[in-house]
Structure 1
Amino acid sequence: MDATTAPHRIPPQMPQYGEANHVFELMQNMLEQLLIHQPKDPIPFMIDHLQRDNDYVPKIAILGPPASGKTTIAMWLAKHLSTNLLSVESLIAKEYSPLAADARMHYQRFKMVPNMLLIRLMQERLKEEDCIRRGWILDGIPETREQALTIQTLGISPRHVIVLSAPDAVLIERNLGKRTDPQTGEIYHTTFDWPPESEIQNRLMVPAGISEGETVRKLLEYHRNIVRILPSYPKILKAISADQPCVDVFYQALTYVQTSHRSNAPFTPRVLLCGPVGSGKSLQAALLAQKYGLINVCCGQLLKEAVADKSKYGDLIQPFFEKEIAVPDHIIMKVLKQRLDQQDCVERGWVLHGFPRDLDQAHMMDHLGYKPNRYHLMYKPPPTMEVQARLLQNPKDSEEQIKLKMDLFYRNSAELEQFYGEAITLNGDQDPYTVFEYIESGIINLLPKKIP
């Protein structure tokens, strides 16, 4: 870009294209992989990386004490996300692998696998095509801080780490009732999760090492190690209480692994606030503009400004204002386009309210390329009797007018909500700053990925 032609005007389509196609994240992920693997010839490596298209496959680690249910949660997540489950048991059970054979011998003699042998087994497994294309879940790995650091050094980095916790007394009692199905590997419990099928009941076995003394020993070892493992994953860790029904634990875990961590990619907020009259759209737009420097674009105010400035569009709008009838959509879009194309909106982003009001208007915006990347669907009484006594009502806010506006909004809201599929819906009948915090979190955090 020629520096002598500054200041440069950024076409609105450029940042929108980059965000829509995740160009910034793509470049960041490619750079990460280049630095981790350091290939001799980076060009074929990058081509191969792009062809795999596996930047967003699950990479999850589930940790927890004995009897916390981590294996059950890991199995359910693996089934739901169609990904691979890796545990010490599954790694050493691998056939036709000299490493797995060595690990089995160690495990049979010492009931453990040496750190380096386990990590080499993991490396071998993670290089296989199904793990590359569909991702993986680590069940109870890493077990020690040394394993965690070695795994990180080798470039094996989970995106989400879940740590289950429960009181030791609960875990000891739960472990005594544990039963396993040797055919499927599923874990059941004599009190909390007994299978209804008699066929499964008959083949359940009591696993080794579930006595109270053995469980206490394992818990002590776990507590000694986990406090040293957790600092290795400071920003991607989620603690979930395991002292609740398994289904509740699973849905909390699923919700977490579907969230995306905050990206370093450039991001220009384009926020659309929709809601019925009196829901607080104007206040929230002003708060967002004040805190984040966004351009506050009120559609009604734009039309009034066009008339006041006696612009060419203002002359077209004036007759409609005088007759108190709706301004045609195509004129509104021209005024809106003129404002959103200005460089401050392109560079700093915008928060729009008052438009679109129906599906046709939303289609017009979309057709012209104005696609919000955050969409929020959203009563405030006077604070004291003294204030209430001096309040005056705007003629436009009569009961009949309000009912008409409310009916119009709710008649179109379902279609708008469907059109903007990633809408964030929230209750506007709260303290304005509580509402603002919800909207703010929806803007600064990436939207959760919807996994079928």
Structure 2
Amino acid sequence: MIMAMWLCKHLNSNLLTRDNLTERKSSSVATEARKHYQKFKRVPSTLLIRLIQQRLTEEDCVKRGWILDGIPETREQALVIQTLGIAPRHVIVLNAPDTVLIERNLGKRIDPQTREIYHTTFDWPPEPEVQDRLIEPEGISEQETAQKLLVYHRNIIKLLPSYPRVLKTINADQPCVDVFYQALTFVQSGHRSNAPFTPRVLLLGPMGSGKSLQAGLLAQKYGLVNVCCGQLLKETVADKSKVGELIWSFLEKKVTVPDSVILKMLTERLDQQDCVQRGWVLHGFPRDVDQAQRLDGLGYVPNRVFFLNVPLDSIMERLTLRRIDPVTGERYHLMYKPPPTMEIQARLSQHPRDAEERVKLKVDLYYRNSTELEHFYRWAIAINGDQDPYTVFEYIESGIINPLPRKVL
């Protein structure tokens, strides 16, 4: 926390922590998060990520940047954040022996007025009035700290692979000033794009094939703009632009939005400077060959296309077993992430889109159109999406870095 605060002051950036996100008075999401914390002593990942999304769209974060402290805490959170296109340019891990961390934590004190953090040994304020009002924060006893460290070590091993090429580990068992300057030097360095050209990537596959996750990983590693057609529809409607109002008129009547309207929305996004300069990864469109031809005809031609193929049985397993806790907002999977208690399991509900019949219908519709799409994108790369997501990502990455194979006709 201290290191993050120092970096924010030096860089004139914004510090985002779980505490200051949930303490915001102007946010209904923060109010909901506080209620959950008061009742369950934790903030569900879904609420925390919504708070981050909300905060990052505000003007000060857009202009001055941000530092996330202690978030994400788990691999699951990291994957969801990446899927949303939130991609930190630098990730720092501070390492120190547990005995040192426990000792440091015991001396931590907080100024209730400024929320500044001090330490009884390393950073004691010189002003007597500040010293007098310092308080000991909750949860810093030796036993509580040891328990938190146990959970941290369990999660960090799975979390670190989410941030290849932007990660730096710093030994924190040295003077704070030395740690700070190492961290500052790292965050002030720029990363060159790993991509050998400006990528325009198209991901195709049925629902549940992992397109959103792979798009998030590509955006993270190569700095691409993550263009999800479904998310873009929601954002355009929320902007209340002319196109947004037009889209809403169709959604309100529960009528399919015409291709011409979707293409207008997409072309406006793909014409923006960030997409032109950094490249993009598009998913959720096109869904059939007519849409692909129209996109191509407008000049938005992808230079890499990937088909993520997943068997129906695997898709059904991934989607129809998903559940949400209506009380905490926490998401579960009956096979991969079952609820911890029978009480929670009894109140879980299923989102209508994950119903078996609806999933089958959408997957069937995709595969009915996929043959023509495969013929249209003859040079596309087919990937088995029924694997660990990082294995799938390695295949996609290989397809981006290496030249396209010449196919003999």
TM range (shorter): 0.3 to 0.5
TM-score (norm 1): 0.43
User: Max radius of gyration: which structure?
Assistant: 1
TM-score (norm 2): 0.47
